Copies of this chain bind each other. A is one copy, B any other.
Amino acid sequence: MILSTIASHSSLQILLGAKDEGFRTRLYVKPERRAFYASTRLADELIVTEDMGAILEDDGIVIPHGSFVAYLGLEGIEKAKTRFFGNKRFLKWETTFELQDRALDAAGIPRVEVIEPEEVRQDRLYFVRIEGPRGGSGHFLARGEELEERLGNIEAKFRIEGFIPGVYLYVHFFYSPILGRLELLGVDERVLIADGNARWPVKPLPYTIAGNVGVALRESLLPRLYDYGLAFVEAMKKLEPPGVIGPFALHFAYDGNFKAIGFASRIDGGSNALHWYGRLYWDEPMSVGRRIAREIRLALGEERLAEVVT
């Protein structure tokens, strides 16, 4: 059995996990990125091509991640004959504000406040969020009085949120249909270009993500986040049957209360940050990438593969 993915986003942990679980691995990589991926031991087969669409003909199990929709399009993925790990129809839920809101509301998870343009006040701070996952690029923080001018230049779909001053925490879950269990595998903070202001404030800077740092959550906050995860899994069972299969992430602002700012309906790049919560469930270190391969291995062992691929 071979596990296949595209070289980007979280392919390293996906392939490392696949190797740890004893699978063969195949990686589709663009020529200009070949040198790095070829230097590692992770890909048994390296398909060097400009056309990432080739993965839609793959004869293994394809593991999608956060670059798939950009590379292949939702329609290309949903119509593909190749087997994808997880629920392919769940992938779209992170791509629009409307679907994100519907999922979070169905789960009863509190959300950040959305502000209508006519409600904007001159002297308050707002966060402008661009629709879809973009690694933070394009999002910005601005005062009400600056908004009109800055919004004039945006071509993408966006919305205005009340800015929540506090920490932003990204919580990585894995729902296992084979074990019937939700696992909370890690928490990260994003490292942004805007963090350049930490040492001395210069000017508002881009929210583009550069990396991730693992955070050990204050333990008293974990049960609440786990409950949110459970509610999300329940909600998606109804909204997009058979619901979540495998990884997803909930994104929160925390200012004493948690307010969701979005979610990832696939493995989230922030799970690249090292974390130990996997050992709460498993006797060995367990990244989200490895957890995917473990689920496939468990499914194969019980001849239940059909329950974890679509």
Interface of A toward B, CB cutoff 8 Å: 8-12, 16, 32-33, 35-37, 39-42, 67, 125, 135, 141, 163-167, 169, 181-184, 187-189, 191-223, 226-227, 230, 254-256, 269-270, 272-276, 279-282
Q: Which B residues are in CB contact (< 8 Å) with A222?
A: 12, 36
Q: How far is the CB of A292 from chain B (nearest CB, A)?
A: 16
Q: Chain B residues near A279 (CB, 8 Å)?
A: 16
| A216 with B274, Cβ < 8 A, contacts A165-B197, A187-B211, A193-B166 known | yes
Partner of A205, one of B11, B12, B199, B211: B199
Complex Cα distance A240/B222, Å? Answer: 35
Q: How many angstroms from the CA of A165 to the CA of B195 in the assembled complex?
A: 9
Q: Report the bound CA distance from A251 to B213 in whole Å.
A: 18
Residue in contact with A223 in the complex, picked from B36, B188, B215, CB distance below 8 Å: B36
B223 with A32: CB separation less than 8 A: yes
Are A193 and B256 neighbours in the complex by a CB distance under 8 Å? Answer: yes
Interfacial chain B residues near A202, Cβ < 8 Å: 125, 163, 165
Query: Cα distance A182–B42 when bound, in Å?
Result: 15
Q: Is the CB of B36 within 8 A of A211?
A: no
Question: Complex Cα distance A117/B220, Å?
Answer: 35
Q: How distant is the Cα of A12 from the Cα of B279 in the complex, in angstroms?
A: 10
10 contacts between A and B (CB under 8 A): A35-B226, A35-B227, A39-B184, A141-B200, A169-B210, A189-B213, A194-B200, A197-B201, A206-B255, A210-B254
